[in-house]
Each structure stands twice: as structure tokens, then as C-alpha cells.
Structure 1
């Protein structure tokens, strides 16, 4: 969908899913919490205007220019991918149950075993803590693995996350880029 979704489109997007952008042996697979309604309505990850994923990805040096959500498949050309902890779309991540997040962690480990990325970057420390039972986890590299993949926590790039400005996000993304080089 190239036009902005209507309110009806957004309402109809509840519980829809978006296909993963994934391939074998990627450098990094970025793992969102779950698709928002805007993303589900458009079929593109991190599609809502104001989401800072694409700017942070570029400013950190992962991509040579800022991609738009409809260019998500070009991530594969630079060894990157995108998935979600929970597949179903919702208006806010807070609508997800703890059981859904835990099941998402198990599913993520299965995806990691199948696709073998070097790193999985989970975009949201609170979701990571719930999904993996690590209540004291902090941003950065983790001791745990998901399948063969190392785990890294990045701040949630949603515009609702006021704790991290775009420069802060880009710096955190860059630390992962350097570790995954």
C-alpha cells in the first residue's frame, strides 16, 4: 500500500501479521516487539511515520542511505533482516500478554536455529525481559543466545520512547554494527 492508511484500514489491521524479512546467515536480524497497526496495514515493518528505526539504521552506518519502509527487502542485500517477537499486530505493545512474549521468545529461538543469523537485536528492553525471563537485562550485548545467534538489546525506536532521542538510538545501533562487523 503506497497511500496513507485510513482509520478503517488501521482498525482492520488488528491481529494481522507481516512476513519476516529474513534469509540464511544474515549479520543481524532486528526483532521488533510486534507490528503496529500502521505497519500491518501497509505490510511494511516500522512503517509508522515517526518511527525512528530507519533513520537510526542509516545514521549508525548499517545502510549507506536512509531506506523507507517499502524498501525493507533491500536490507537483505546488506546482511540484515527484520522479524517480530509476536506476530500479531496491535495498537500498542502493552496489549500483548506476558504469555505471548514468552511464546515469542521460543519462536525467535526456533527462527534463529533455522536461519542462523550471527546477531538478533531485540528492539525493546522491557519486551526482552518478559520474553526471556531476564528482569534485570539492560541495553547491549547479552550473555544468552537464541539458537546459535548472539542477542543484543536495542532501545525501542518507536516515537513513543522519549528516553532515547535519534542521536542516542543511532549510537546504540552503531555499537551493534561494530560488534557485528
Structure 2
């Protein structure tokens, strides 16, 4: 496990950008809303203690073991990747403007065109609704595609999203795993 950032480092991470973890032809490209300050300070996706992304990936069968955030570069070997709608780190997703989220949706479409994943999983229904002007979207498979990739909306695994337990998150992520045919967790 990497060292915890100091309070000063976390505060100073506002606006930081974390590189995507991507490769061509992934099974699933997970798309977060934007990095939190903790992730901005560490340079690692979903790295804040209490975020359930990594435990849920394992619990639902996407990975054969629980990866730590500093092992994020192993994801493409399992056909998985991570990007964000908005690149800049902020304390809360609520700090993002509608314009930023919509610009992020356009950038995501370009990225998906280039990378050709089978599925894009937007992690956060409110951000999805705003970014893609889909006011009534719910969790699960969407009727639309992005550059030919299927679109799935998942609950945000942030610890702040406490009404979703790790088990209920894993069930939602597991439905996507089944649709993506990612049942074996075997590295490619």
C-alpha cells in the first residue's frame, strides 16, 4: 500500500489530473465522474480509503483478487480500464459544472472511438444524466451506445454513497460483468 498523502498534499491536489488506465479493445472502460482530491494527491484512481471500487471489482468477479489502487496498471490485462468524465480533481463532484460534464461526454466519445471498448460503464447516475442529457436514466444497461460501445450506468462506489453497501454494489457491477462476458477473470 502506498503512503497516505498529507492533509496539505490532499488540499493542494485541486485541479490535478490522473492519467487514464486504458488500452485498445477493452471489455469494459469504467468512467468515473472526476478524481477526488485524495486520488489527485496519490495519482491513483479510486484511491481514497473507504472507496469501494477495488473491493467491488473483486467481489463481483471482474478481478481474481482484490487489487490495490497502486496496482491499477494491471487492469488492462483483465480487459478493464479507467477514465473520467472530467479530468480535474475536486473535493466534490458537485463542484463540476454542467458544461464541464457535457464537454467530458464529448471527450469520452472521442476516447471510445479511438480505444473501441465493448462497454463503457459510467460510475454515477447523476453525472451520466447531466453529461448525456438523459434526465430519466436509471442504473443498468442504457438504450444508447457511445461510438458503438454499450453503455452501462453503475452506482458511485464512493464511501459517501452510503446507501449502497459493498454487496449491493457488487450485485450491480456483477450484472455488467455478465453482460460483458467477463466471467473468468483470466488475464489476457
- Normalising by structure 2, we get a TM-score of 0.95
2: CA distance between counterparts of 1:87 and 1:60? Answer: 27
Over aligned residue pairs, what C-alpha RMSD do you find?
0.9
Instruction: Report what 2:25 is aligned to.
Output: 25
Secondary structure of the residue aligned to 2:159 is: coil
Instruction: Report what 2:80 is aligned to.
Output: 80
Secondary structure of the residue aligned to 2:141 is: strand
1:2 shift after superposition: 2.4
Structure 1 gaps, min length 5: none
- Whether 2:150 is the aligned partner of 1:150: answer yes
Runs of 4+ in 1 over 2 A off after TM superposition: none
Structure 2 gaps, min length 5: 182-188
Secondary structure of the residue aligned to 2:143 is: strand
Secondary structure of the residue aligned to 1:142 is: strand
Residue pairs, 1:12-161, within 5 angstroms: 12-161=12-161
Instruction: Report what 1:8 is aligned to.
Output: 8
Secondary structure of the residue aligned to 1:31 is: strand
1:11 shift after superposition: 1.4
- Normalising by structure 1, we get a TM-score of 0.98
2: CA distance between counterparts of 1:146 and 1:91? Answer: 28
* Equivalences, count: 181
2: CA distance between counterparts of 1:63 and 1:36? Answer: 23
Instruction: Report what 2:184 is aligned to.
Output: none
1:7 shift after superposition: 1.1
1: CA distance between counterparts of 2:116 and 2:134? Answer: 23
Per-residue CA distance 1:24-56 (angstroms, 9 max, x = gap): 000001000000010011010000000000011
1:23 shift after superposition: 0.4
2: CA distance between counterparts of 1:11 and 1:162? Answer: 23
